[in-house]
Amino acid sequence: MTQDVVLPLSILILLIPLLSFLINIFFGNKLGRLSGVVGTTILGIDLGLAIVVAFTKLTSYGTLHIIQNRVEWFNLGSVKVLVGIGIDNIAAIMLIVVTLISFLVHLFSTVYMEGDRRYPKFYAYLGLFTFSMLGIVIANNFLLMYIFWELVGISSYLLIGFWYEKNSASNAGKKAFITNRIGDLGFFIGIMILFFTYGSFMFEDVFAGISSGVMPFNNPTMLTIAGICIFMGAMGKSAQFPLHVWLPDAMEGPTPVSALIHAATMVAAGVYLVAKVFAMFTADALTFIAVIGTITAFISATIALTQVDFKKVLAYSTVSQLGFMVMSLGVGGYTNGFFHLVTHAWFKAALFLAAGSVIHAMHHAAHHMHDHHTDAQDINNMGGLKKTMPWTYRTFLFVTLALSGIPLTSGFLSKDGILAGTLAYANLTGGWHWIIPVLAFTAAGMTAFYMFRLTIVAFHGEHKTEIAKHTKENKLPIVLPLVVLAFMSLWIFYSPNPIDASKGWFHKMIVQPKSAVPDAYQWSFLLNEHAEEDATVAHQAEGSTTHLEATTGKPDDVKAAGHTTGHYLNKFQEESHHFHYIAMILSLLIAGSGIALAFMIYQYKLISADKLEARFKFLHTFSLNKWYFDELYQATAINGILVVSKALSWFDNYVVDGLVNLSSYVTRGFSYVVGLFDNYVIDGAVNLTATFTGFLGAKLRKVQTGHIQSYVVFVLLGILILLYFFI
Amino acid sequence: MEIGLTHYLIISAILFSLGLYGIITRKHAIMVLMGLELVLNATNINFIAFARYGGMNIEGHIAAIFVIILAAAEAAIALAIVLNIYQNFRHVNVDEVDNLKG
């Protein structure tokens, strides 16, 4: 397959889910039960195409930086606004991630959403979401990215609030949407700074502008600020501290949605964005990103320790893992950050689908027993599910191992890479930066602990309630996605070596892009060590609107990474390699002790959980209440806005309304005077004229006798008068 | 004294004046129409006189014939109107047909 086919096929991949949306939104009611089949089939076709495109890109054109086109959308005066789509290696991989998970979730939902009143609408929204997410993946410019970004936001809103009859669900939808708006505002400001400076939305134009030394407002700090603004978009979507509060609430949506949107794909969009525009971040911006990622990873890991809602634990775990990805990108570990995104997508989707499976079974059992009060999502109501749901348990256990970072899983490879990266970063920068690896390792240990707490409490031991005893394993459409996703979490898909991914195809294909930022504003250890030929991309003239073109990037990068020992892309990668084994041993020790602790407390009850809780009452309450973030925002942001709104409302009611009423009184008075003038002076004059005319008419009508003969006399007289005057 | 253009014109003027007088003063609609005929014939005399003496030649004759035809047509229409007036008012007194009075 030639590379000309890649872009049209990508557009097809983008549009096919939209077709699913249109069919289900317009003909959903007619289709009824069939809409699930239609949606799943369409996504299956889409998945097939995505696999074809991704394999073509990765195998035949893996060394090409990006296959893309540029199309002139419209003109703003003299500024041409260009858009386009592009497939680079990370986009190719994301295509598979999005379509495969979306396909599995479609399949899963055929059973999970069975009997829902708005079943076709659910599939319509899933189609819309998949369409928008694929749009983000294949956009090669900020403008399209932003448009699809917002589309993803709206589909997320629709799906979180899918059961909008529940007050908490509709509130969660609103919360997610509004919190995302804050991030998106920053994103938009960042885009505008860049567009104002470089006159283009295209990533490559912006990077070329930056590397040619042009700075926004001639100030390198502004480049950092622009980077942070762009990153704010990622903070919103990827639920980074302090905007992470929406993601746990988003669990009000149906569980397949949580798996698709709030675990695997949409929340990864922020990380994907940071990876896409990685070349434009300055050292300061990267530091900011790393710090935000670290704080997020740590805080949410601590919160996940004490949650009792099955999905809430997973939600905070997602936030924490997203923090890991962002942190990895921030410290310069581009490849590992994106690697973790992909591996995490598989096993977190599997975890959520397993959660869906459990909740579905719990609901069924509760329904069967006519028990509508027990919370089907509370892990303290479960227990012993290992016996009743063996397949769910097996897959869940395996992906839990992956998330905890145990060898032979993909999660081990990526997490280990990230942790080695943080150590390398701290070693290279020194000082307070050592906090980052310390918090990262702590969070990794907590991850292992809370995941095993969840597994043990929910699946091991005795049935804690009657409901749990009556749960049954679900049907094939629910179990199959779990197995597929668990299978995808094996190490073998990424690297033949189960403890080191750096020789695998993934690390060969995903190479850190050359930073566009001038050397003075970038970490020296991120600069590419050997001089390479100019990485700027060659273009054909912009005039041709639909012409496809492939821009060749830097093929030698790939070679450099694929080199045998001794040649690293930059100092950071060399250092990461040195820390690889230290990080591995450390992370295994920490994860192992986390798991051991979980077993001691919850499985063998060597340590009483209640006593621990009583001992660390303050910490427990703090974690259980999610560090009081919601209350903090309630007290500051929300109440602040309420107070301001009240003040504004008072101002509105008394000052503005007063002024308006005053002016209306003045106007009324004036109108009254004008009315009088109108009535008596103007109407008087008009009436006078009319009366005068009427009077005249009354006099003159006497002439009209109706006697033809008198008219003849008048004519005669007239002629005589005319004769007298003219002759 | 030779009879010339002037004499014809005087005759015509007298005839015209008589006709006009008849139109203005008669009460009976038929009488008014007869006055009208007089006026038309006065103009006919003028045409013929100018044809004979004034150099109008054949055009004068043709005009006179046109007037006679017109007079016939006019008489037909006018008599129809008079009949209508009679049917509506049961008389033909033009003094009392003043429905168009202002």
Nearest Cα to Cα of residue A525 among A582, A574, A567 = A574
d(CA A80, CA A713): 85
Measure the CA angle with vertex A630, ends A626 and A632; round to 5°: 105
Instruction: Give the one of B95, B97, B102 whose C-beta lies nearest to A703's C-beta.
Output: B102
Quickly count: other Cβ atoms within 10 Å of residue A300's Cβ.
29
- Decide if pLDDT at A468 tops 90: no
A555 — pLDDT class (breaks 50, 70, 90): very low
B102 — pLDDT class (breaks 50, 70, 90): low
Q: Which amino acid is at A322?
A: L
- Decide if pLDDT at A533 tops 60: no
Please give the pLDDT value at position A524: 80
A694 — pLDDT class (breaks 50, 70, 90): very high
pLDDT digits (tens, 9 = 90+) for A194-250: 998 888 888 888 888 888 888 888 888 888 999 999 999 999 888 888 888 888 888
Structure tokens, A699: 């006099």
* A703 contacts on B by Cβ (under 8 Å): 102
Rounded to the nearest integer, the mean pLDDT of chain A is 84
Q: B5-94, what's its fold?
A: Helix Hairpins (1.10.287)
Please give the pLDDT value at position A669: 94
Question: Across residues A691-706, what is the average pLDDT?
Answer: 86
Question: Across residues A319-345, what is the average pLDDT?
Answer: 90
- Decide if pLDDT at B37 tops 60: yes
A563 — pLDDT class (breaks 50, 70, 90): very low
Binary contact (B102, A709; C-beta < 8 A): no
**To which H or E segment does residue A345 belong?**
helix A334-368
Task: Kindly calculate the radius of gyration of chain B based on its CA atoms and give it in whole angstroms.
Answer: 17
- The answer to whether B82 contacts chain A (CB < 8 Å) is no
For chain B, give the percent of residues with pLDDT over 90. 43
pLDDT digits (tens, 9 = 90+) for A397-411: 998 988 888 888 888
* A705 contacts on B by Cβ (under 8 Å): 98, 101-102
Least confident of A159-163, A416-420, A492-496, A625-629: A625-629
Please give the pLDDT value at position A691: 94
Binary contact (A713, B24; C-beta < 8 A): yes
pLDDT digits (tens, 9 = 90+) for A501-516: 777 788 888 888 888 8
Contacts of A378 (CB under 8 A, 6+ apart): A308, A309, A310
CB A141 within 8 A of CB A83: yes
A547 — pLDDT class (breaks 50, 70, 90): very low
- B98: closest chain A residue by CA: A706
d(CA B76, CA A372): 107
Please give the pLDDT value at position A554: 40
Least confident of A536-540, A628-632, A715-719: A536-540
Which whole-number Å values give the CA distances from A627 to A136, A323, A436, in the listed order?
Answer: 33, 17, 20
A288 — pLDDT class (breaks 50, 70, 90): very high
pTM given for the model: 0.74
Please give the pLDDT value at position A546: 38
A323 — pLDDT class (breaks 50, 70, 90): very high
- Decide if pLDDT at A531 tops 50: no
Quickly count: other Cβ atoms within 10 Å of residue A356's Cβ.
29
* B24 contacts on A by Cβ (under 8 Å): 709, 712-713, 716
- The answer to whether B94 contacts chain A (CB < 8 Å) is yes
Nearest Cα to Cα of residue A192 among A137, A249, A248, A233 = A233
Binary contact (B23, A705; C-beta < 8 A): no
Question: Across residues B35-58, what is the average pLDDT?
Answer: 89
A553 — pLDDT class (breaks 50, 70, 90): very low
Which whole-number Å values give the CA distances from B91 to A341, A431, B36, B82, B88, in the listed order?
Answer: 114, 131, 20, 9, 8
B56 — pLDDT class (breaks 50, 70, 90): confident
- The answer to whether B31 contacts chain A (CB < 8 Å) is no
Please give the pLDDT value at position A559: 39
- Interfacial residues of A (vs B; Cβ cutoff 8 Å): 700-709, 712-713, 716
- Decide if pLDDT at A543 tops 70: no
- Decide if pLDDT at A549 tops 50: no
- Decide if pLDDT at A560 tops 60: no
Probe site for chain A from B24, B26, B92 (most A CB atoms < 10 A):
B24
pLDDT digits (tens, 9 = 90+) for A580-621: 888 888 888 888 888 888 888 888 777 777 777 777 777 777
pLDDT digits (tens, 9 = 90+) for A357-409: 888 888 888 888 877 777 778 887 887 788 888 888 889 899 898 888 888 88
- A712: closest chain B residue by CA: B24
Please give the pLDDT value at position A34: 85
Please give the pLDDT value at position A529: 61
Please give the pLDDT value at position A567: 63
Question: Across residues A88-93, what is the average pLDDT?
Answer: 89
For chain A, give the percent of residues with pLDDT over 90. 18
Question: Across residues A102-108, what is the average pLDDT?
Answer: 91
DSSP reduced 3-state for A85: strand
Rounded to the nearest integer, the mean pLDDT of chain B is 88
Binary contact (B100, A706; C-beta < 8 A): yes
Please give the pLDDT value at position A1: 61
- Decide if pLDDT at A556 tops 60: no
Binary contact (A709, B32; C-beta < 8 A): yes
Probe site for chain B from A703, A709, A712, A716 (most B CB atoms < 10 A):
A709
Measure the CA angle with vertex A97, ends A95 and A98; round to 5°: 70
Please give the pLDDT value at position A558: 42
pLDDT digits (tens, 9 = 90+) for A432-451: 888 888 999 999 988 998 89
Report CA torsion sign: B80, B86, B91, B97.
negative
Of A633 and A147, the structure prediction assigns the larger pLDDT to: A147
- Decide if pLDDT at A471 tops 90: no
- A716: closest chain B residue by CA: B20
Please give the pLDDT value at position A569: 73
A675 — pLDDT class (breaks 50, 70, 90): very high
